[in-house]
Chains A and B, each alone.
Chain A
């Protein structure tokens, strides 16, 4: 893909190396988030959380992965063979590809951009690759040949599309203010002024609520509502294929948090010297992920009709109004 006009060309080996580094960092982050979530959830409920494997339970994610890896690879008779195997890989592909647009810093040393890719279409890149994950969920549910899987897949499909519009409109306010779609430009536009979370507070709220829904996180985990649907689209999956869905969900959490941090919370800008930038970015991502966990521990799951009316009757009009008001304010000031 053609990069935005940055005025320099990176050697291809630099691109490969930095992509690998970003991917490795986030891949390392996922087990930590997993443990953090279980620990925090434990504390929220006056429990200890996992504390048996390793000191203070620190090795718990490792044990989980080993367990998932040692499971039997099985396929239900009713499943459509190839599609059933491709579906979890599609979800991982979509989550990995969207990682590329999270910026961890501006161009450093004149020739290396601290981001996977900075394209002119910016945030639309995330939406485009996000639509692949939709097919991952739907194919997984459909090809399983189980009614629970299929109902879960249909639910998640309708939920994903209901909240995607509000998400897009919520970001439009920021895009109008910054005058760019590129996440790097948007983060830089907040360097000297206040973070966009203050003038765009409504947009930030809408984006985060839609983000909870897009990642199928509680209180919007209707597709895998275990009380009614067993486990939704991944009922028939086991082993690492189940793990793929699980991991993709956490990677998407990182992506949503990363986009929110770059667009609303000033990205890598913060007090201190420039080299602290990537650390600031990671810190902001972690704070937003703690918000995800906090919300999970606090709110009960919505009913499906409530979920739909929240998306269409509350968030969508609010987001539209936000766009109009922001447009007027941008022109007036």
Chain B
């Protein structure tokens, strides 16, 4: 793993830096403005975007935890005492599905 991470750092760093070494340098004012198509440029880092982004992020946390919990338990399904594991998985998924149905019925999955 260390080798791959090291390779990634080297290659990524090289790609980022190479243009400084190889490329021409002709800066101009217009070139360094943010891209805009026919309008005056404006720099903003805050946007009032829709509530759906938060909804998606919150629901993602819930289901991500579900997946992370199910992985170590799912691995054991084939090993021993399968019926017991199956019941536990089914119960776990069922409870989350109830929440999922509720979220769906309340319309939180509709993108606004």
* A240 vs B22: C-alpha distance when bound (angstroms): 11
Chain B residues 1 to 38 lying within 8 A of chain A, measured CB to CB, are: 1, 3-5, 7-9, 11-13, 15-16, 18-20, 22-27, 31-37
* A147 vs B40: C-alpha distance when bound (angstroms): 13
List the interface of chain A (C-beta within 8 A of B): 1, 15-16, 19-20, 23, 69-78, 85-86, 88-97, 99-100, 116-117, 119, 124-125, 142, 144-148, 150-151, 154, 158, 161-162, 164-165, 168-169, 172, 175-181, 230, 235-236, 238-241, 243-244, 247, 304-305, 308-309, 312-313, 316-317, 320, 323-324, 327-328, 330-331
The chain B residue sitting closest to A119, CB to CB, is B1
- Ranked nearest first, the 4 interchain pairs of A and B with the lowest CB-CB distance are A89-B12, A96-B8, A73-B19, A93-B8
Report whether B22 and A69 are in contact in the complex, using a CB–CB cutoff of 8 Å.
yes
Q: Which residues of A contact B82 (CB under 8 A)?
A: 330-331
Report whether A240 and B71 are in contact in the complex, using a CB–CB cutoff of 8 Å.
no
Report whether A76 and B32 are in contact in the complex, using a CB–CB cutoff of 8 Å.
yes
Q: Which residues of B contact A15 (CB under 8 A)?
A: 3
Q: Contacts A158-B53, A320-B93, A330-B77: A244 and B8 contacting too (C-beta < 8 A)?
A: no
* A320 vs B97: C-alpha distance when bound (angstroms): 9
Q: Which residues of B contact A70 (CB under 8 A)?
A: 22-24
Chain B interface residue number, banded: 35 or more
Q: Contacts A88-B15, A100-B1: A23 and B7 contacting too (C-beta < 8 A)?
A: yes
- How many whole Å from A306's CB to the nearest CB in chain B? 9
Q: Which residues of A contact B9 (CB under 8 A)?
A: 89, 93
Residue of B19, B42, B79 with highest tally of chain A CB at under 10 A? B19
Q: Which residues of B contact A235 (CB under 8 A)?
A: 35
The answer to whether the Cβ of B95 comes within 8 Å of any Cβ in the partner chain is no
Q: Which residues of B contact A74 (CB under 8 A)?
A: 27, 31-32
Report whether B4 and A316 are in contact in the complex, using a CB–CB cutoff of 8 Å.
no
The chain B residue sitting closest to A317, CB to CB, is B100
Report whether B56 and A161 are in contact in the complex, using a CB–CB cutoff of 8 Å.
yes
List the interface of chain B (C-beta within 8 A of A): 1, 3-5, 7-9, 11-13, 15-16, 18-20, 22-27, 31-37, 42-45, 47, 49, 52-53, 56-57, 59-60, 63-64, 66-68, 70-71, 74-79, 82-83, 85-86, 89-90, 93, 97, 100, 104, 109-111
11 inter-chain pairs at a CB distance below 8 angstroms, sorted by A residue, are A69-B23, A72-B24, A76-B33, A77-B33, A146-B36, A165-B67, A312-B56, A312-B59, A323-B70, A328-B86, A330-B78
Q: Contacts A309-B111, A313-B104, A328-B86: A93 and B12 contacting too (C-beta < 8 A)?
A: yes
Report whether B15 and A241 are in contact in the complex, using a CB–CB cutoff of 8 Å.
yes
Q: Which residues of B contact A72 (CB under 8 A)?
A: 19, 23-26
Q: Which residues of B contact A147 (CB under 8 A)?
A: 34, 42, 44, 47
- How many whole Å from A76's CB to the nearest CB in chain B? 5
